[in-house]
Amino acid sequence: MNRNIATFAVALPALVLPTVAVAVAQGANVERLDQASVSAQIALYGQAFLPALAALIATRRIDWGLRRRVAPRVLLWAWLIPVLCVGVAYGTAWTTGLADFVPTSLLDVLLGLGPGVVPFLVLAVGEQLGWSSFLAVRLARTRGPDATALIVGLAWAAFHYPLMLFVPGAVAPGVPVAYALGVFTVETVALAFPLVWLRLRTGSVWPVLLCHATFNAALYFAAQPMTGPGEGALLGEGGLLTSAATALVVLATAPLWRIRNTSSRAETSARHIEKETENHG
C-alpha cells in the first residue's frame, strides 16, 4: 500500500472515533441534533471535514482539483444523477403507497434543488477533498476507475459506521443496525462510481462536489418534506429504496458519467493529476 494512503487509513479513524466519543458523552441524538450541546454539534458536523484533514496529515502535496474548468453539460449531469436517484426512490414509494405523499409548492422544490444545494456543498468539500482529490487520485495510479470507485465507496461507508453504531438516532428506530450498515454501503459504493469517474476524467472536483451536495439537498430539502413520517427502513439516506434506486440510476446513466473523451482538455487534466501525484509520492 502507498505510504500516504496507509497514513490516511490510520489518521482518519484516529480523528473520527474521538469526535463520536464526544457526541456520545454529550448525549447527542441525530434526530434532535439542534437540542445537543455545542460541543456535540461541532463534533458531529465537523466529521464532514475529517477526510480532508486526514489527507493533509498524509501529505501536503495534493492536487485538490479546485481550479480546473468543467464543461457546463458535465455539471448538469453531476446535478441530474442524484436528482434522479432520489426521485426514483421516493416516486416509487409514493406511487406504490409505501409512503404518503405530502403536496408542497413547486417553488419549495426548486429552491431545495437549486439554492438548497449550497449549504451541502460546504459539507461535501471536507469529505470529497479527502475521498476524491486524495484517495481516488492516488488509488487510480495503480488501479482502474472501477476498482478505485469500489474501494472509495467502501471506505466512504466505513467512515460513517462509528456514527451509525454508537450515536442514537443515526439509524432509524426499529431498523436493525446490521441491515442499515449493509444498505448504506450499497448506496455509497453505487454513488462512488460516478464521483470517481468524474473526478479522474475531468481533473476537477467540482462535479463531484455538486453531485454529492445535490444528493443530500434532494433528500432533505425536496423529497423528505413531501413524504409522510415513517418508513425509515425504506427511504432517507441509507434506506432500501434509496440505495436500490441509486444503484439502478447509476447503471442507467453510465454513458453520462463514464467520460472517456469529453475533450482533450479533460484527458490532459486527468493525466496531469496522475503525473503530479506520482512525482510527489
pLDDT in tens, 184-216: 999 999 999 999 999 999 999 999 999 999 999
Over residues 159-187, the pLDDT tens digits come to 999 999 999 999 988 889 999 999 999 99
Distance CA 187, CA 154 (A): 10
Over residues 112-164, the pLDDT tens digits come to 999 999 999 999 999 999 999 999 999 999 999 999 999 999 999 999 999 99
pLDDT at residue number 277: 46
Return the C-alpha cell found at 17: 472515533
Over residues 88-118, the pLDDT tens digits come to 999 999 999 999 999 999 999 999 999 999 9
Q: How far is CA 164 from the centre of its chain?
A: 15
- pTM of full prediction above 0.85: yes
CB 70 within 8 A of CB 269: no
Question: Is residue 263's pLDDT more than 80?
Answer: no
Return the C-alpha cell found at 31: 434526530
CB 189 within 8 A of CB 153: yes
